Homo-oligomer: A and B are copies of this chain.
Amino acid sequence: MYSIGDLSRRTGVKIPTIRYYEQMGLIAAPERSEGNQRRYEKPELERLAFIRHARDLGLSIESIRDLLALSRHPERPCGEADRIAKEHLITVREKIAQLQKLERELERIVACNGDHTIGDCYVIRALADHSMCGGDH
């Protein structure tokens, strides 16, 4: 028997977020106490931990909903779960590649020592004039 606060402490998911997940249908509406407070059991704790972990990995609510639906059918082949994770891996890799491009450009822009004036500042000029950045984006 956990209160929403217990659940929050044990999973690291904030209380309003738990209620939000309930609203979004990621977790079922739990039993209530006589005074209308939410009362959870162990399975809900585990489910929430699953969600937390998946969110930490950057999976969308939508993907998590799919994975949770899959996990309710342990007899089915797991190709679909695999696909969701692989697809996510691809988007993570794309994001990394894009950020590394930005990193390189920012490094070039930042190679200024700060001892001159705005009128002459490479940061400002690079932002104003796209052609200065090598044009790879």
Give A54-85 interface residues, CB cut-off 8 Å to B. 54, 56-58, 67, 70-71, 73-79, 81-85
**A81 touching B123, Cβ below 8 Å:** yes
**A85 touching B100, Cβ below 8 Å:** no
**A76 touching B117, Cβ below 8 Å:** yes
* Residue in B56, B99, B117, B123 whose beta carbon sits within 8 Å of that of A75 in the complex: B117
Stretch at the interface among A15-23, A33-41, A107-115: A107-115
Chain B's nearest CB lies how many Å from the CB of A51?
9
We find that the number of chain A residues with CB closer than 8 angstroms to chain B is: 56
Contacts of A79 in B (CB 8 A): 114-115
Tell me if A93 counts as interface (CB < 8 A to partner B): yes
Chain B's nearest CB lies how many Å from the CB of A90?
9
